[in-house]
Amino acid sequence: MTDEDTPTAETATDGPATDGPARDLPVVPTQFIYPFVIVTTLFALWGFANDITNPLVRAFKEIFLISNAQSSLVQWAFYGGYATMAIPAALVIRKVSYKSGIIVGLLLYAVGALLTIPASMMMNFNVFLVGFYVLTFGLAFLETTANPYILSMGPRETATQRLNLAQAFNPIGSLTGMVVASTFILPALQVSEFRETELQAHPEYATMLPSEVDGLITTAMEQHAEEFADARQAMVAHDLDVVKTPYVVIAVVVLLVLVVFAVSKLPDTGHEEEKIELKALLKHLLTSWRYVGGVVAQAFYVGAQIMCWTFIIHYGMTLVGLSAAQAQNYNIIAMVIFLASRFICTFILKYLSPGLLLGILAVGGGLLTTGAIFIQGMPGLYCLIGVSACMSLMFPTIYGIALSGLTPNDAKLGSAGLIFAIVGGAFMPRYQGGLIDGPGMTIAGQALESVRVSFFLPLLCFVVIAIFGFAVYLCSGKSETETTPVN
């Protein structure tokens, strides 16, 4: 099957998704199995990049001795790249094939990852930020391409299920990135060894609050840097070399995947020859409350996801007294729960409409986040881990709901707004880092450390998502949800 003689958009689907339960139709038709499989590998690749980068927010704080707000610039650069490139990528992809967009995305991904080499040699935090920024130019191309491509590979009625199935492989990549960070990066950092040495040298720390101990160790690191500048320089050089290595490896993997796509013949399910009526399309999108609401909900969802996964390490270290590697291990547990929940929720979509399930899970996420704020010790950490079960379905479901009714070709541009919404992952962690640097507060007689206070931000995000999900469900009408469930 060649690019020229494969089915057009009309033979695949008339639109990306509906909000009703799927009918008894194939999720992935036989003729699309091979392209579905290789495109699905991309979901794992960008998941790896996302979640090997999250732990670096805390690592860079100690390597470069900067504030939480400054270290959260890692997420500002990473997710800011999505915001910068999402719309340009969509305009390019709409004029070319999905395959071409994927190849461009993979190339930019590899270039950004390889920029960690000069960044580590120069020992420059800002060069790392440039590398992450360029890397996510590639991810913007990949996500803007792969999501609507998957939606177009079959019947409209099963589009949301199909995207959820493909997105289920995203946490596999995320889990791999977390394991690499927990096993090969964080334990190998000399700043982590310094922290352990300080804990052993001060047995009195065992009787103090973890938040107080964290502050004392940070002060000790700053004093060590002033008194032993050469030793500190050697420590930084070693740790940045550790950080660089997995990015170089993934760059090689990405280039190999690029070769696979370059030699593969893929169906062009969304390319059309008509002139782009950009003004009319934008008017259509901006007057659709589902689309606009979906973009807003997606921004808040991505913000919540990145905050919960990035600052779980701060939560574990500051409030429970864990090491960085131990805290990251709990992040891995959260990702396993996320992965399992993604498959479970994909199955539940046979019985509940996407809007209703989205609203229910957002309420659950809000309740668990509230537990993380107010419950002390390990139970609070368990609540934060449990939030991942509620987040599992959100991204692809919001995506499918927002693009409902668009042709595959128009969905290429419509998807840009949803990928642009990933900018929520740039802004919100920055604000949360600032809250962590600030003072705590007292609510209803309970003193809350600044880390706890910072989780009011993801709580707000889940409120917004719940409003969107229930609004979609109520406005869709009961007729769509009273269909006999598919067995």
pLDDT in the model for residue 16? 47
118 with 251, same domain? yes
Sign of CA dihedral 318, 321, 326, 332: negative
pLDDT in tens, 205-242: 888 877 788 889 989 999 999 999 999 999 999 999 99
Q: Has residue 487 been placed in a domain?
A: no
Report d(CA 351, CA 349) in Å as an integer: 5
Average pLDDT over residues 412-435: 84
Average pLDDT over residues 311-324: 89
Q: Which amino acid is residue 214, in one-letter code?
A: D
312 with 240, same domain? no
* Of residues 114 and 289, more confidently modeled: 114
pLDDT in tens, 83-113: 888 888 877 877 778 888 899 999 999 999 9
Helices (H), 322-375: 324-348, 354-374
Report d(CA 73, CA 90) in Å as an integer: 26
Helices (H), 181-277: 190-201, 210-227, 229-263
Could you tell me how far CA 11 lies from the centroid of its own chain?
32
Q: Which amino acid is residue 37, in one-letter code?
A: V
Across the strands, what pairs with 442? 447
Q: Has residue 85 been placed in a domain?
A: yes
* Of residues 461 and 1, more confidently modeled: 461
pLDDT in the model for residue 276? 56
268, 293, 312: which is the final residue of a domain? 268
Query: What does the block give as tokens for 388?
Result: 């991942």
Cβ-based neighbours of 124, under 8 Å, separated by 6 or more: none
Query: What does the block give as tokens for 232?
Result: 């500190």
Report d(CA 329, CA 385) in Å as an integer: 11
pLDDT in tens, 352-371: 889 999 999 999 999 999 99
214 with 147, same domain? yes
Q: Has residue 10 been placed in a domain?
A: no
Q: Has residue 353 been placed in a domain?
A: yes
pLDDT grade for 339, boundaries at 50, 70 and 90: confident
465 with 447, same domain? yes
What phi and psi values does residue 156 have, to the nearest 5 degrees?
-60, -35
pLDDT grade for 287, boundaries at 50, 70 and 90: confident
Query: What b-and-e string marks burial along 180-205, b requiring 16 or more CB atoms within 10 Å of the CB?
Result: bbbeebbbbbbbbebbeebeeeeeeb
Q: Has residue 50 been placed in a domain?
A: yes
CB neighbourhood size of 359 (10 A): 21
What phi and psi values does residue 447 have, to the nearest 5 degrees?
-80, 125
Q: What is the mean pLDDT of the chain?
A: 84
Q: Has residue 4 been placed in a domain?
A: no
Across the strands, what pairs with 446? 443
pLDDT in tens, 291-301: 899 999 999 99
Helix (H, G, I), strand (E, B) or coil at 446: strand
- H/E stretch holding 296: helix 289-310
87 with 224, same domain? yes
**Number of structural domains in the chain:** 2
Which residue range forms the structural domain that includes residue 402? 277-479
224 with 287, same domain? no
What phi and psi values does residue 106 have, to the nearest 5 degrees?
-65, -40
Report d(CA 222, CA 194) in Å as an integer: 12
CATH of the domain at 302: 1.20.1250.20
Query: What does the block give as tokens for 316?
Result: 């574990």
Q: Has residue 408 been placed in a domain?
A: yes
Helix (H, G, I), strand (E, B) or coil at 54: coil
Torsion-angle region of 161 (φ positive above 0: left; ψ -120 to 50: alpha; else: beta): alpha
205, 238, 268: which is the final residue of a domain? 268
pLDDT in the model for residue 102? 93
207, 237, 268: which is the final residue of a domain? 268
DSSP structure class, residue 55: T
* Percent of the chain at pLDDT exceeding 90: 43
pLDDT in the model for residue 438? 87
Least confident of 74-78, 444-448, 476-480: 476-480
Q: Has residue 290 been placed in a domain?
A: yes
370 with 405, same domain? yes
136 with 80, same domain? yes
263 with 328, same domain? no
Query: What does the block give as tokens for 413?
Result: 């541009």
Could you tell me how far CA 276 lies from the centroid of its own chain?
31
pLDDT in the model for residue 303? 94
pLDDT in the model for residue 280? 63
Cβ-based neighbours of 250, under 8 Å, separated by 6 or more: 45, 48, 49, 52, 113
Query: What does the block give as tokens for 459?
Result: 């709580």
111 with 258, same domain? yes
Report d(CA 268, CA 97) in Å as an integer: 6
pLDDT in the model for residue 335? 85
Contact between 466 and 301 under an 8 Å Cβ cutoff? The reply is: no
253 with 394, same domain? no
* Of residues 20 and 68, more confidently modeled: 68
Average pLDDT over residues 3-19: 40
* Percent of the chain at pLDDT exceeding 70: 88
Report d(CA 307, CA 429) in Å as an integer: 5
pLDDT grade for 25, boundaries at 50, 70 and 90: confident
251 with 328, same domain? no
Report d(CA 243, CA 187) in Å as an integer: 11
